[in-house]
Amino acid sequence: MFKTYLESSKNNIEQWLGEILKSPNTEYAPLYESMEYSLMQGGKRIRPILTQAVLEMFDKIPADYKEFLCAMECIHTYSLVHDDLPAMDNDDYRRGNLTNHKVYGEGMAILAGDGLLTYAFQLMGSNRTASAEQRIKAISCVAKAAGPEGMVGGQAFDLLSENRHISLEELKVLHRGKTGALFNSAVELGLILADADANTYRAFMEYANCLGLLFQITDDILDVTGTIEELGKTPGSDIRQHKSTYVALLGLEEAIRQAHMVGNQAHDALKSVAYDTAILESLIDYLLERTN
């Protein structure tokens, strides 16, 4: 049932994504082509699906908020395009295809990432189902997650941490920004758009914190145990970049144990919520079992 939900949700989101990037003139068409190349390469679409699942629990229709869901995927894709650049992780493959800069060149890849990031906010501002107050809160939430307090800050700390040992606490700070921030905002978006009460808000944000951490730990594990066929990118990039990871700091066995512990904490966070959380709970188990 959950796999069917993921597949149908992903198909809906990809249909919406396929409709949003239209070049206003022929002169800008190569930029839009580069943006679409990375945006439409697939992927799990976990972040917009997370927002969708929260909206559905409050009996909201996800299609009414599709601009917000598409915005989350635009921001995630921008981060991947920039992560793959020679100045960052210097990866040649993403989702089984050549990375953006390998196809379009570094300059265009940078601009494609810039375009996806800024277009996400244009999309959110264009939604007409949410109230003006909800749109302001949503845009502020996502901007904080994507900016120097979140993803950009985490990526900067990641660069500064290469070739040196950092503590487990520092690693958690790094990934709360680089990975966790967007997971948090994906959940918070749904809460904002549904006008959730304070107690529900707290429970769901605890869940979101755990989910983001779980995703990163399993990502670190897969970088060691996965294959290029499973991951769609070259495994072992963290080792080549001399990065601190949960596996590097704790060892593979302990990293796996930590992942299950964090998964249990995520389940516990949902126990106080008076809504049907079956999809969110299944997402925890899905991340624990994923192979890509």
* Prediction pTM value: 0.92
Query: Do the beta carbons of residue 6 and residue 286 sit within 8 Å?
Result: yes
Q: What is the pLDDT of residues 169-212, one digit of tens each?
A: 999 999 999 999 999 999 999 999 999 999 999 999 999 999 99
How many whole angstroms separate alpha carbon 57 and alpha carbon 119?
28
Tokens for 139, please give them: 């845009």
Helix orientation angle between 278-289 and 2-20, rounded to the nearest 10 degrees: 90
Nearest alpha carbon to residue 215 among 74, 42, 223: 223
Mean pLDDT of 30-52: 96
The confidence band for 163, taking pLDDT boundaries of 50, 70 and 90, is: confident
Q: Which residues contact 254 (CB under 8 A, 6 or more apart)?
A: none
Q: What is the pLDDT of residues 202-254, one digit of tens each?
A: 999 999 999 999 999 999 999 888 665 655 556 556 665 667 889 988 999 99
User: How many CB atoms are located within 10 Å of the residue 292 CB?
Assistant: 15
How many whole angstroms separate alpha carbon 254 and alpha carbon 59?
40
pLDDT at res. 214 = 94
Tokens for 252, please give them: 């593979």
pLDDT at res. 242 = 65
CA quadruple 260, 211, 290, 234: dihedral positive or negative?
negative
Q: Looking at this protein, which amino acid is placed at residue 217?
A: I
pLDDT at res. 248 = 87
Residue-averaged pLDDT of the chain: 92
Mean pLDDT of 62-83: 97
Show me where the domains of the chain are located.
197-291
Tokens for 251, please give them: 């060892």
SS3 122: helix
CA quadruple 209, 291, 166, 174: dihedral positive or negative?
negative
pLDDT surpasses 90 at 12: yes
CA quadruple 127, 12, 112, 162: dihedral positive or negative?
positive
Mean pLDDT of 88-115: 95
pLDDT surpasses 60 at 126: yes
pLDDT surpasses 90 at 128: yes
- Which helix (H) or strand (E) element contains residue 98? strand 97-98
Mean pLDDT of 34-48: 95
pLDDT at res. 272 = 87
User: How many CB atoms are located within 10 Å of the residue 168 CB?
Assistant: 12
pLDDT at res. 235 = 56
pLDDT at res. 37 = 98
How many whole angstroms separate alpha carbon 53 and alpha carbon 154?
26
Mean pLDDT of 70-86: 97
How many whole angstroms separate alpha carbon 270 and alpha carbon 125?
31
β-bridge mates for residue 98, sequence order: 93
Q: Which residue has the higher pLDDT, 147 or 227?
A: 147
pLDDT surpasses 60 at 265: yes
Mean pLDDT of 1-12: 93
